[in-house]
Structure 1
Amino acid sequence: MNRSRRYVLISHCLLNVNSKVDGYGLYPGALEPLVLPLIKSGIGIFQLPCPEATFAGARRWGMTVEQYDIPAYRRHSISLLEHVVDQVEDDLANGVSILGVVGVDGSPSCGVDCTCYGYTGGMIGGSDAVARSLDSVKMGPGRGVFMKVLSEMLEERGIVLPFAAVDEESLDGISWESIEKRLSV
């Protein structure tokens, strides 16, 4: 058998940009500079489910970490990740090497080092509601809800995996090699 016995867990949208909120997505399908080197080097790709698409569907609005950090969304994330963490635990017990988790910085769900903050709430039709909401949205340090739940679930089972993230705002610098370095630090 010619298996490499190694893989990396990757946020869903890095393999399927169509799962992103409409209006986002800076590449046509999968993020090739990340994915193709993995395939060529024989590293398996474990695509995580998209919690936002499965929670709110394709016609959802962009939201912030405060809007997703609610009990229902955390439960939803846990339900999506239970089988993932089961498989990770079993794979590790059976000699598979898991190189880490790759998220998407800026995402309120899959951000690793940076996430999207800001929420003012209220009615869209108010005179200044849209401007006030837009003005409140900022990127800042922190982990998105889904990645936070994943790291908590792994920790509960004594599993330590490194996390790294793609910054889609600077696609020119994205490569598997740069992510791999951050995972192996």
Structure 2
Amino acid sequence: MARGNRYVLLSHCLLNVNAKVLGYGSYSGAMKSLVLPIIEEGIGIFQLPCAEATFGGLKRWGMTVEQYDTPAYRRHCRWLLEPVMDQVQDDIANGVSVLGVVGIDGSPSCGVHQTCYGYCGGTIGSGDWVDRSTKSVRLDRGQGVFMRILSDMIAERGLSVPMASIFEGKPSRVSWEEIKKELQR
């Protein structure tokens, strides 16, 4: 069988839900409704690194974009993405078609169109901080920190790689056909 010379970059947890914050994840391993049609179409999959897991480990708390948007985390994202971008740039220069990036809306790192806002600050052990922090969390327009860094690095290298997103709350409703349309716009 001949090489397809094309691939899509996927957020890490779409292929490995175990990287998510404990308590999150509505599928057992990989998001089959997205991944299997890609494979069946003969498209390669490039798994992006998980910046949250490599920065905070599996025992981390769920956080918002305001909490991740720090110089240290942005530097970590850039460090993780340098070799990815080197490979993407070289692949494109050598005739490979990079169809796009698929992120996860709602994620403070991998959100493409929407991210998670709402940090209040304070300690979680006193007063009403937990209740106030929980109630302040909301989805709104914007990119997560990791996707914003990736977008910047794509532009810095003069490349054109489109981005699309899924909302993983209902994985059975995720459609590769819909994602593909978004990437082709």
Bin the TM-score by the shorter chain. over 0.9
Matching residue's letter, 1:18:
N
1:59 is matched with which residue? Answer: 59
Deviating runs (4+, > 4 A) in structure 1?
A: none
Question: In 1, distance between residues paired with 2:23 and 2:35?
Answer: 22
Once the two structures are superposed, residues 4-31 of structure 1 have per-residue CA deviations (whole angstroms, 9 ceiling, x without a partner) of 0000000000000000000000000000
Question: Does the CA-based 8 Å contact 2:31-2:171 persist in structure 1?
Answer: no
Q: TM-score, normalised by structure 2?
A: 0.98
Once the two structures are superposed, residues 31-72 of structure 1 have per-residue CA deviations (whole angstroms, 9 ceiling, x without a partner) of 001000111111000000000000000000000000000000
Alignment gaps of 5+ in structure 1: none
| RMSD of aligned residue pairs (Cα, Å) | 0.8
2:156 is matched with which residue? Answer: 156
Query: 1:98-177 counterparts in 2 under 5 A?
Result: 98-177=98-177
2:84 is matched with which residue? Answer: 84
Matched residues, number = 185
1:32 is matched with which residue? Answer: 32
Secondary structure at the residue paired with 1:152?
A: helix
Question: In 2, distance between residues paired with 1:171 and 1:46?
Answer: 20
Question: In 1, distance between residues paired with 2:170 and 2:26?
Answer: 10
Secondary structure at the residue paired with 1:158?
A: coil
Secondary structure at the residue paired with 1:168?
A: coil
Question: In 1, distance between residues paired with 2:26 and 2:72?
Answer: 30
Secondary structure at the residue paired with 1:13?
A: helix
Query: 1:31-50 counterparts in 2 under 5 A?
Result: 31-50=31-50
Q: Note the C-alpha offset of 1:173.
A: 2.2
Q: TM-score, normalised by structure 1?
A: 0.98
Alignment gaps of 5+ in structure 2: none
Q: Note the C-alpha offset of 1:115.
A: 0.3
Question: In 1, distance between residues paired with 2:44 and 2:34?
Answer: 12
Secondary structure at the residue paired with 1:169?
A: coil
Question: In 2, distance between residues paired with 1:146 and 1:13?
Answer: 13
Q: Note the C-alpha offset of 1:169.
A: 2.1
Q: Note the C-alpha offset of 1:127.
A: 1.3
